[in-house]
Amino acid sequence: MERDDRDREILTRWRPEPPTERERRALEEVDYGDFEIYRNKLELVCWEAYQTFQRMGVSPMIEAGDAAVGIYTRLGDLAVGIMGTQLHLINASIGLKWTMRHFYDEESVGIREGDMFYVNDALYGGIHNSDQILYMPFFVDGELIAWVAAASHEVETGAMEPGGNPPSAESRYDEGLILSPIRIGENYTLRADLMEMMENRIRDPRMQTLDVKARVAACSILERRLHEVVEKKGTEFVIGSMRRMIDEGNDAARKKLAAMNDGIYRSTGFLDNAGSERYGLIQCMVEVEKRGDEAHLRFYGSPRVKDGNFNMYPHMMVAMFACYMYQFLFWELPATTGYYTPFSFEFQKDSFFDADEEDATSLGVATTGQVISLVHEAFEKMKFGSPYHDHVMAPWPGTSSTTAFAGLSTEGVEFGAWDQGQPNGIGQGARWDYDGLDTAGFVWCAIGEYLDVEQIEENYPVAAIFRSRFWRDGPGMGKFRGGRSMTGLYQVRGTPMLYAVVMGGFSGRPMAPGLFGGYPGRPLAGALIRDNNLDELIEQGRVPTDIYEAVERLEGDWQFTHSNWGEEKIYHHDCWIGTAPSGPGYGDVLERDPDLVMKDLREDALSHRFARDIYQVVYDEETLLFDAEATELKRKEERENRIARATAYDDWQPGWAKKRPPERVLQEYGFWPHGSAGRMMLSVEPVSEDYLPVEVRDGLRPPAAGIIRSRDL
């Protein structure tokens, strides 16, 4: 069901708006040398705000740096930012535009200097309600010039299950605190009544308030520093520079795209769940058509899933594209919305990209994190044959999973949390010339930190038995292997009971493909171990130090879980296992340098069986010295064996086409094999050039002042 009073058109305005007359005039005031100096200065300002945000926040996501801050034009387009979490900067833009369109002339609200607005509803420009954005207008002499914003993820939203993204949710009404744009502060002061409303609604009120204040601090720094630049260089310089940042982004993006080979690049993937206990194959097809200096992305072949926390809105996937684009396509360029200009997007109607307004979508972000690996694969295949060949790498392994838990903390206060080491402990995809980075962050944020164990153990009644050993045999194998990830064993200690959910992952199969013959990394899965013998193992000095020892030594009542699993109660001394995905590999395993295979063995990254049987290296298991000549011979034999046991494609295909997966994995699939391909497509383009009346767009009249307060009379 769609309500006609919601503004869905604003969700299509992710591209920069055309320049205003004021911006065109201001551009002429910008000297190129000064522009370069002050562009760098504004970037440094954003770093200052970002680091303050990180140090003040208490949500594990903010503490780890999975956050973003940005400076936006008056019309709401990102001029410069620091990320952190790239997609936040894009969806913040939509929230700002919604505010400009609906509050600028609205007498009961208005936009005033010192206002603080807040949004976390995907239907108003958010991504999911755990991602929360605070934004403030920037005024000079009473004129609205720009906006500043700070965004990050809260690990608790007062939803039906703890953790902010409830796997069992069936509608938006199960997801907790969801705010359309709301002014939560004025005159540079947070309103106590609205903070009370937020605190009252969620399980961890302390975290909510401290994190909102951290956002205010970040925005205040941006605002103060912008005033300093205005004082030094003038208003016109700031307006013109912001526009030039966007325009240069557009020019740079087009130049890079034009250098790549034209054509159509495709990737197909299969998700394995549509929410808790809804497991099975779900197809997704991605097509990138690149012509000249533009690229068109199509997403199709997928069903829409009823009543699961899985679907998304198209702008969520458009925003997710930022995570690929800023990390891998325009990695060397400063962040602006300008890079989006050459891209267009199309989604199949009635697919999981086209959620109903009533749907639960908080785990739709996990869906975007899976699908982006297909976008990544398609673009990297484009990059290989281009001048940017030496930056090719296999995708992130898809989304991360995490085990969220809630209860009473060691200090006796309500909390909701998780170990951010689990989502940020992902291995990156292998590079074209070396292995992937170990525990590199996650798909949404490549600079997120792997927090120390104290972040968990000092704050929560949980002991991390192990969490700092890489997952042996986890990464995708190849000429270069994927980055290694973490696995963890945790135990509830010092509290009678916690609530826990496992959210966001994939367990039936890996999501992200390897590149050019590399294999994907392993999928994820959790386990709860109740009535266990861990205390005895501790007494015996046989504490498990990795997942293999945990499986071997821990005795008890094992309950194996998919990595998207609804609420469980866990009790004092219960244990659980958490896993993070390792990166996909690159290239043929038979081309891996035997030296690197021996290095993997020395570093406990690999088991002998794979060194011997998959990498086909001849070596001494004691000394780890390999025989180069024998290895070359063995690999030559294996290549000959491959040809001997394989079948010509045209002979193989008819038999293959007759096969079909078992019905139990096709419950959510749609029509086999093409799913829902061929249905109508939904283009995500604005219907009008201007989203504001001309006088508002060009600043010919000021915003409404809002309700007149008694002291103003």
Partner 1 sequence: MSRVHITEYLDIDTDRELWLCNRCGQELIGARENYKRGCVVYERDPDEIMPPIYPPEKTEFYLGVSPGYGVFVEFYCPGCGIMIENELLPEGYPPTHDLELDIDALKAKAEQA
Subset of 105-144 contacting partner 1 (CB under 8 A): none
Query: Is 523 a binder of partner 1 (CB under 8 A)?
Result: yes
Let me know: does 327 contact 86? Beta carbons within 8 Å. yes
Binding marks (x or -) toward partner 1, 668..687, rule CB under 8 A?
----xx--------------
Query: Is 560 a binder of partner 1 (CB under 8 A)?
Result: yes
> Is the sign of the CA dihedral 5, 6, 10, 11 positive or negative?
negative
**Among 81, 176, 514, 706, contact with partner 1 (rule: CB under 8 A):** 514
Compute how many residues bind partner 1; rule: CB under 8 A. Answer: 78
Structure tokens at 487: 């696995």
Residues 617-646 that bind partner 1 (CB under 8 A): 638-643, 645-646
Let me know: does 504 contact 407? Beta carbons within 8 Å. no
Query: Is 556 a binder of partner 1 (CB under 8 A)?
Result: no
Residue whose structure tokens are 């939203």: 157
For partner 1, the closer of residues 12 and 302 by Cβ is 302
Query: Is 387 a binder of partner 1 (CB under 8 A)?
Result: no
Let me know: does 554 contact 527? Beta carbons within 8 Å. no
**Among 591, 603, 620, 632, contact with partner 1 (rule: CB under 8 A):** 591
**CA–CA separation, 196 and 198 (whole Å):** 5
CA angle 372, 342, 327 (to 5 degrees): 40
**Among 158, 338, 369, 510, contact with partner 1 (rule: CB under 8 A):** 510
Query: Is 232 a binder of partner 1 (CB under 8 A)?
Result: no
Binding marks (x or -) toward partner 1, 256..295, rule CB under 8 A?
-----xxxxxxxx-x-x--------x---------x----
For partner 1, the closer of residues 150 and 547 by Cβ is 547
**CA–CA separation, 181 and 690 (whole Å):** 21
**CA–CA separation, 652 and 401 (whole Å):** 37
For partner 1, the closer of residues 3 and 659 by Cβ is 659
Nearest CA to 692 out of 118, 197, 13 is that of: 13
Let me know: does 408 contact 461? Beta carbons within 8 Å. yes
Give min distance, CB of 304 to partner 1, in A.
20
Per-residue burial over 665-684, b = 16 or more CB atoms within 10 Å of its CB, e = otherwise: bbebbbeeeebbeeeeebeb
**Among 51, 210, 463, 558, contact with partner 1 (rule: CB under 8 A):** 558
For partner 1, the closer of residues 109 and 601 by Cβ is 601
**Among 72, 352, 379, 516, contact with partner 1 (rule: CB under 8 A):** 516
For partner 1, the closer of residues 228 and 640 by Cβ is 640
**Among 144, 179, 477, 596, contact with partner 1 (rule: CB under 8 A):** 477
For partner 1, the closer of residues 103 and 432 by Cβ is 432
Query: Is 711 a binder of partner 1 (CB under 8 A)?
Result: no
Give min distance, CB of 160 to partner 1, in A.
24
Contact stretch for partner 1 (CB under 8 A) within 8-16, 169-177, 183-191, 559-567: 559-567
For partner 1, the closer of residues 40 and 641 by Cβ is 641
Per-residue burial over 496-524, b = 16 or more CB atoms within 10 Å of its CB, e = otherwise: eebbbbbbbbbbbebbbbbbbebbbbbbb
Residue whose structure tokens are 């908080």: 362
Query: Is 667 a binder of partner 1 (CB under 8 A)?
Result: no
SS3 category, 184 = strand
Nearest CA to 17 out of 92, 71, 94 is that of: 94
CA distances from 398 to 387, 482, 485, 518, 566 (A): 27, 13, 13, 16, 20
Binding marks (x or -) toward partner 1, 437..476, rule CB under 8 A?
------------------------------------x---
Residue 539: how many CB atoms within 10 A of its CB? 10
Give min distance, CB of 627 to partner 1, in A.
21
**Among 1, 192, 625, 657, contact with partner 1 (rule: CB under 8 A):** 657
CA distances from 630 to 286, 620, 627 (A): 43, 12, 5
**CA–CA separation, 482 and 662 (whole Å):** 31
Nearest CA to 393 out of 317, 327, 484, 485 is that of: 327
Query: Is 391 a binder of partner 1 (CB under 8 A)?
Result: no
Query: Is 662 a binder of partner 1 (CB under 8 A)?
Result: yes
Query: Is 614 a binder of partner 1 (CB under 8 A)?
Result: yes
In angstroms, how far is CA 616 from the centroid of its own chain? 37
**CA–CA separation, 49 and 62 (whole Å):** 13
Give min distance, CB of 268 to partner 1, in A.
4
Contact stretch for partner 1 (CB under 8 A) within 6-14, 108-116, 398-406, 546-554: 546-554
Structure tokens at 462: 């949980």
Query: Is 656 a binder of partner 1 (CB under 8 A)?
Result: yes
Residues 367-386 that bind partner 1 (CB under 8 A): 377-378, 381, 384-385
SS3 category, 142 = coil
**Among 623, 659, 687, 689, contact with partner 1 (rule: CB under 8 A):** 659
Give min distance, CB of 393 to partner 1, in A.
12
For partner 1, the closer of residues 33 and 654 by Cβ is 654
**Among 43, 143, 344, 508, contact with partner 1 (rule: CB under 8 A):** 508
